[in-house]
Amino acid sequence: MRPALLLLGLALAPLPALSQADAPPRSAQQRVGEATSDSHGFVSATRFGQRDGGALYAAICAGCHMPNGRGAVGAGAYPALAGNEKLEHTAYPVGVVLHGRHGMPGFATQLDDAQVAAVVNWVRTNLGNAYAEDPATPEEVRAARP
Amino acid sequence: MAEQPGPEQSPSRRALLARIGAVAGGAAMYQAMTALGVAAESAYAGPVKLEGDARGASVLVLGAGVAGMVAAMELRKAGYRVQVLEYSDRPGGRCWSLRGGDRYTELGGETQTVGFDHGLYFNPGPWRIPYNHHAVLDYCKRLGVALEPFVQVNHNAMVHGRNAFGGKPQRYRTINADYQGGIAELLAKATKQGKLDEAVGKQDQEILLESLRAWGALNTDMTYAKSVLTSDRRGFDRDPGGGLTARPVPSEPVAIKDVLSSRLWSYLVTGSLYEFQTTMFQPVGGMDMIAKAMAREVDGLIRYNAKVTEIRQDDRGVTVTLRDAQGAGGAEQVRADWCVCTIPLSILSQIEMNVGAPMAAAIRAVPYAASVKVGLQFKRRFWEQDEHIYGGISYTDLPIRMISYPSTAYGTPGKGVLLGAYAFGPYAYEFTALPAAERVKRALEWGAALHPQYKDEFDGGVSVGWHRVPGALGCNGAWTDAKRDEHYDNLCALDGRIVLAGEHASYIPAWQEGAILSSLDAISRLHRRVVSA
């Protein structure tokens, strides 16, 4: 279960993973071999490939917040994103997606600015949320990065 | 427990170490490892000694995972009155095995019923024990948990890359031999051309050449080429035999440039790492044999299906509010003088609790990693029967990342269960977000690239995405060095009458050793406080 580990494969590679900077875009090589997956899913061990907000939600957020956005309750809970007033302004969801919150990991190194904006805007305008005004922009996301 | 071999990795302490090793050499890496606390000998100094009179003090242990049960066992032995509250209906927490007939309901409500044959199992959580995890091994010994070798490195297992060798899986053995041989040949050439004169004295160059020959299986002309010598490493086209078919047929090595560009060399290192070196162990019959043995030891102390909703301390004790985990009945309160809380931070960060600001900040600071495993049952052990793979792990850059074959019951007829996927990072999130059956289906499709038999022999599967495990909400605490600097000591310090324990309160995250050492350290400090009061 330990995520942290054996990255010797990168020993001879440049060091993007150690910097806070955006990792480079996926190479063409990483796109090969995805015949059995949806067009942009499962493309890399370090980056998400989906560009569309709904696809990003389905691939990432739905794991905890559930496909219907209603969250889940166990020993702890995943909050519902459906009908969630904290989504009214972009700053909060952009910050949470980038930096995480409590037990939720941040995705700053796994999503680029446009992807973060796309998924935030999708959540703000779906799942019973109707915050279409002042959508998040890649520029806003960039400014919110560490 | 986990590893992320090969290309396309996310950042980590280990990546840093690898780079230090690559750039500055082994000694520098070892020094750095010691500084980061990974290479030193285990902190385990034998059974914990809680000496002095506990004066009948009571302790509430929250969580019946490995950390919680160790605390309960040792504190009771030291004279404390102990009660354990556990959210789920079984002991062990992440120390867990799934067997035929088991039902597992994940967050979101989907239930999987495991269809494995009798005696077959799958460990969704920890699955192997390093020889240097002295505390886990000692508890196994003391509690009578039988161990058997866990095969980490199997030279006859595969290494596979989508774009390596046309997607055809290679034997670990051949890539290992050809990588080593190719490097040895290059170094020998450089030495003979005088290119290492500055680094290595003339006399030592002779020794270097001799060692390269031995290490890389170089022929007398210092080349790595097709021969019986090199085939003794990489295997033969036809193995040596007896009688008239005795003569071996050597195999053709892969050129070093092709080995390098395949990047399959990246899978060769794992088994050399401290945590994955031979010998590794597993409990006979499933990892939860440890949980069951510990639960027997603390028989009667654990209350299951108890969901903690509030932890409140005052000058004289700790009051914990709980509800039935299945939702039946109202709130109830339990009180004790002290509290050892092993609840994962993913959950604890949501529980109302009056600790000081430093501990509260630490509890909120640690995100929980994604991880997914898929267990697959096949109608026969084709990996043994067809491919002579006995235990060990095949690695791939496909989203399943690895396939691990059972390190037990070799050669038995009937069905077999293997680990069909073990992923972290984006792949793990993407797997977790799929319906359970779809995870299994994907694992089958991708795994068939290594084993075409998958399609005909598949017999059923089960998948666990750790973010959907109701009592865990994630795989493990994902610390960074910066977060440790800021929060780790505050997380571990006794706060009034409450102390935390678990893998998240250790420098061995996601390993049971971390959970146990953390627990022993926590209860030792708690006990010192009690006896000195």
Going from the N-terminus, what domains does chain B have, and what CATH number goes with each? 58-92+289-365+479-532 (3.50.50.60), 98-156+278-286+369-468 (3.90.660.10), 170-262 (1.20.1440.240)
> pLDDT at residue B5 above 90?
no
Q: What is the mean pLDDT of residues A98-106?
A: 98
Task: Tell me: pLDDT of B27 over 60.
Answer: no
Which distant-in-sequence residues (6+ apart) come within 8 Å of B325 by Cβ?
Answer: A75, B87, B88, B89, B305, B306, B307
Q: What distance lies between CA B271 and its chain's CA centroid?
A: 13
Query: Per-residue pLDDT tens for B461-479?
Result: 999 999 999 999 999 999 9
| DSSP-assigned beta bridge partners for residue B261 | none
CATH class (in words) of the domain with range A38-144: mainly alpha
Residue B390 buriedness (CB in 10 A; 0-12 / 13-18 / 19+)? middle
| Residue A146, pLDDT score | 83
Instruction: Using alpha carbons, list the distances in angstroms from residue B258 to B160, B163, B166, B182.
Output: 14, 12, 12, 10
Helix (H, G, I), strand (E, B) or coil at B493: coil
Q: Is the CB of B238 inside 8 Å of chain A's CB atoms? A: no
Q: With an 8 Å Cβ cutoff, is B7 touching chain A? A: yes
Q: Which residues in chain B have Cβ-Cβ distances shorter than 8 Å to A4?
A: 2, 4, 12-14, 369, 478, 509-510
Over residues B40-83, the pLDDT tens digits come to 456 899 999 999 999 999 999 999 999 999 999 999 999 999 99
Cis status, amide bond into B396, omega within 30 of 0:
no
| pLDDT above 80 (res B25) | no
Per cent of chain B over pLDDT 70 is 92
User: What is the rounded distance in angstroms from the CA atom of residue A76 to the CA atom of residue B346?
Assistant: 7
Is pLDDT of A108 > 70?
Answer: yes
* Across B201-227, average pLDDT: 97
Contact residues, chain B, for A41 at CB < 8 Å:
430
Cα distance from B107 to chain A (closest Cα, Å)? 6
Q: What are the residues facing A101 on neighbouring strands? A: A104
- Chain A residues near residue B5 by CB distance under 8 angstroms: 5-6, 8-9
For residue A138, the distance in angstroms to the closest alpha carbon of chain B comes to: 21
Specify the pLDDT at position B328: 80
By C-alpha distance, the chain B residue nearest A100 is B367
Complex confidence, ipTM? 0.90
d(Cα B531, Cα B504) in Å, to the nearest integer? 27
User: Lowest-pLDDT range, B307-316, B327-336, B508-517?
Assistant: B327-336
- Going A73 to A79 to A82 to A85, the CA torsion angle's sign is positive
Round to the nearest angstrom and report the end-to-end CA distance of chain B. Answer: 39
Q: What gap in Å lies between CA B98 and CA B103, rounded to an integer?
A: 8
pLDDT at position A92, please? 98
- Three-state SS string across B172-205, please? HHHHHHHHHHHHHHHHHHHHHCCCCCCCCCHHHH
Residue B272 pLDDT > 50: yes
Is the CB of B176 inside 8 Å of chain A's CB atoms?
Answer: no
pLDDT at B192: 96
Please give the pLDDT value at position A68: 96
**Does B4 contact chain A (CB < 8 Å)?**
yes
Q: Average pLDDT of A89-103?
A: 98
Say which of B3, B349, B351 has its CB closest to residue A5. Answer: B3
- Residue A96 C-alpha, separation from nearest chain B C-alpha, in angstroms: 12
Q: Determine the distance in angstroms separating the CA of A136 from the nearest CA of chain B, rounded to an integer.
A: 23
Domain range annotation of chain A: 38-144
The dihedral sign for the CA sequence B110, B116, B119, B125: negative
Helix orientation angle between B202-216 and B172-192, rounded to the nearest 10 degrees: 160
How does DSSP classify residue A17? G
CB A69 within 8 A of CB A81: yes
- Specify the DSSP element, H or E, that contains B292: helix B288-297
Closest Cβ opposite residue A3 in set B21, B87, B371: B371
Q: Say which DSSP state B255 is in.
A: P
Residue in A2, A4, A9 nearest the CB of B7: A9
The Cα–Cα gap between B167 and A57 comes to: 31
Please give the Cα distance from B186 to B290 (Å, whole number).
Answer: 48
Mean pLDDT (chain B) is 93
Residue B429 touches chain A, beta carbons under 8 Å: yes
Q: Which of residues 57-116 of A touch B (CB under 8 A)?
A: 58-64, 66-67, 72-78, 100, 102-106, 109-110
Alpha carbon of residue B396 to chain centroid: 17
B107: chain A residues, CB-CB within 8 Å? 64, 66, 72-74, 78
pLDDT of residue B31: 47
Closest CA to B340 of B478, B479, B137, B496: B496
Reported for B256-262, long-range contacts at CB under 8 A and 24+ positions apart, including other chains, are B256/B178, B256/B179, B256/B181, B256/B182, B256/B183, B256/B185, B256/B186, B256/B224, B258/B165, B259/B175, B259/B178, B259/B179, B259/B182, B260/B182, B262/B161, B262/B164, B262/B165, B262/B170, B262/B175
Q: Chain A: give the shortest CA distance to residue B213, in Å.
A: 25
Only one residue has tokens 């799958």, namely B122
Tens digits of residue pLDDT in B155-186: 999 999 999 999 999 999 999 999 999 999 99
- 3-state SS, one letter per residue, for B102-120: CEEECCCCCEEECCCCCCC
How far apart (Å, rounded) are the C-alpha atoms in residues B144 and B289? 10
